[in-house]
Amino acid sequence: MKFTNGYWLIKEGVEAHYAAQGYDAKREGNGLVIYAPDRPIQNRGDTLNRPELTIRYSSPRRNVIRVRITHFEGQLDNGPHFEIAEDAEFRPEIAITPPAEGKPGEAVFRSGDIAAHVRLGDIWNVEFRAHGKTLVKNETKSTGYMISRRDIAFRDDPFLAFPNIDRGPLMGPYVNEDLSLGVGEYVYGLGERFGPFIKNGQSIDIWNADGGTASDQAYKNIPFYLTNKGYGVFVNETGKVQFEVGSEKISRVGFSVAGESLEYFIIYGPAPKEIIKNYTALTGRPPLLEDDTFGLWLSTSFTTSYDEQTVMSFIDGMIERDIPLKVFHFDCFWMKGFHWTDFCWDENTFPDPAAMLKRIRAKGLKVSVWINPYIAQRSRLFEEGRQKGYFLRKKDGSVHQTDLWQSGMAIVDFTNPGARAWYTEKLGEVLDIGVDYVKTDFGERIPADAVYHNGADPVLMHNYFTYLYNKTVFNFLDQKKGKGKSCLFARSATAGSQKFPVHWGGDCESSFEAMAETLRGGLSFTLSGFSYWSHDIGGFEGDPDPALFKRWLQFGLLSSHSRLHGSNSYRVPWNIDEESVEVCRVFARLKQSLLPYLQNCGREAHEKGIPIMRAMLLEFPDDPVCPFLDRQYMLGPDILVAPVFSADGEVEYYLPPGSWSHLLNERIETGGKWLKEKYDFLSLPLWTRGSRTF
């Protein structure tokens, strides 16, 4: 949210109250409390008729400092809240030196190697330091309580997209925080974002939306970023957080939330891997996944016409062509149109699904099916769900319905324990006949004016809905299949959703440009605390031409998870051309040969939260070239992948210093240089560190 009008002025209609002075400090249990009025206090009269911000510093675990800024503390809090893993045994260090003899004092709050130094009795200033070095600062006119005349200042606020919402508490007040952005400091993360990889200069709203990959909207908004200067920031707000990353104030990252309080964590690294390790210790890490999930998934695609004969022809076609296939996925139309979701196989195309699934599994495959959290009006479940109060409601008590996606659809209220049990009971009927994994699609278009069973704030639930949805399904799979056998293919996410893998990149076009934006989204996503990620090989929208499809096959089969899927065309490789069959076979076999390596990467993800697909800066944080690279990545710690984004096979990429061996031939190179090369469809830049073999 932009509150200023250039450097000098406040935006018309905004009343800004910035913390001006650390006026008083005290210990409170294991925390530090700072009282900060909006102007320096010089006499008793200055304490009247003005806001004072209460700023609390605490630590949930070593090397993490929690900062909570509050104006009015008497507000209702109906949640939801992110699940934060605190170390109950950890104790921070606190020291307070009051001002004396006209000199400022200082309060120091230390958590392991990082400390917040708060100036007392003087102009507002906070420095977060580690090992004597300042990581980031919070300076004058940074910490603010902002009141607005909503009709003027925020007439373009995105919340206006919800015409039925009570906008009073959303349009103001806001709490805003600015943190310094240093020279040569770059910001990464904030979820699966498909625009520029480095977020400097961008305004970003943390608000889940079904906007495809070709817009500034995102399915997976994560209010966490890290920089190349040794720290990360996690804003502990499940609802809408608005970031100004060097966009409103060029030398600051600003973030704001509606309401009377804002809470965030400063997470010390010092290296990017350590930042992610500490962030995921706070918000969660993924379980280990079954080996089969790393193999090739084949989908029926979305709107294609298919029945059992079609499905078996695809599976047999892959077997006949010696392409290793591990999972077959049934997309939406395993159920009848206008009936999603009812968990009933369409008897016209699948008269005996149990027998069919048995035949598929006999070929050594796992089975996945598509679901979503919406119940169409024609679903067999609608009336039961309505009568039992299992759907999101309007304020008048009626069911919240829409025709956007399925006619008259309702949305399952996952805050209701009865609704969760009911939904998973119906899902269990499908699992019982031979389904292994579940694609949990959608979860983004959640109304911000809905009434929830548990009374949760509907704005704060908008992003958090996907967490409850995927947690419900994932935990149920654990219960039915046994721990370690669960796997989702989810589209939407919020902070903490990394505990319920896998996630895929959503609806992209069939073009080289979309392939590149997909990779940018994936690298931003994995820098946001997520370890596993996939995407639709060849793109979702449109029909990929042979060159694009073959290049995307290489990229897809060198991702953590690999799926052939599209919108209106079958994505079996022989439908493209015969060379696509060979490319698919070569790289699917290659991925199978890498399974032990990927298993080790999975263990590292489980134990430390480190992603499998890694931005180059994660492995080479001290290389001055790597912070900018978004068209190549590391697959685990040792394999460099540079996808080819051109029909003619030309690719330019950077090989970091050291000795490198090409994985597909015997070529050896010494790094520390850019390479511009041309590759045929059976190869691409694929290098391993040193002489490592697989």
- pLDDT of 153: 39
What is the C-alpha to C-alpha distance for residues 421 and 472, in angstroms, rounded to an integer? 9
On whether the CB atoms of residues 91 and 41 are closer than 8 A, the answer is no
| Nearest CA-CA partner of 179 in 215, 126, 238 | 126
Distance CA 438, CA 563 (A): 14
Pick the CATH number of 615-689 from 3.50.50.60, 2.60.40.10, 2.60.40.1180, 3.40.640.10: 2.60.40.1180
4-283 domain in CATH 3.90.260.10? no
What is the per-residue pLDDT across 403-444, written as a single tens digit (0 to 9) for each? Answer: 999 999 999 999 999 999 999 999 999 999 999 999 999 999
For the ranges 140-149, 195-204, 270-279, 616-625, the lowest mean pLDDT is seen at 140-149
pTM: 0.96
Encoded tokens for 100: 């004396």
How much of the chain, in percent, has pLDDT values that exceed 70?
Answer: 97
Give the number of other Cβ atoms within 10 Å of residue 55's Cβ: 23
- pLDDT at position 455 over 70: yes
What is the 3 state secondary structure string of 286-348? CCCCCHHHHCEEEECCCCCCCCHHHHHHHHHHHHHCCCCCCEEEECHHHCCCCCCCCCCCCCC
Decide if 4-283 and 291-371+417-446+455-608 have a common fold.
no
State the average pLDDT over residues 303-317.
97
User: What integer pLDDT is reported at residue 160 of this predicted model?
Assistant: 40
Q: Can you give the residue ranges of every domain in the chain?
A: 4-283, 291-371+417-446+455-608, 615-689
Which of 110, 107, 114, 177 lies closest to 146, judged by CA?
Answer: 177
Q: What is the CATH number of domain 291-371+417-446+455-608?
A: 3.20.20.80
CA distance 632 to 520: 9
pLDDT band per the 50, 70, 90 thresholds, residue 149: low
* Residues designated as active site: 441, 444, 507
**Mean predicted lDDT score pLDDT of the chain:** 95
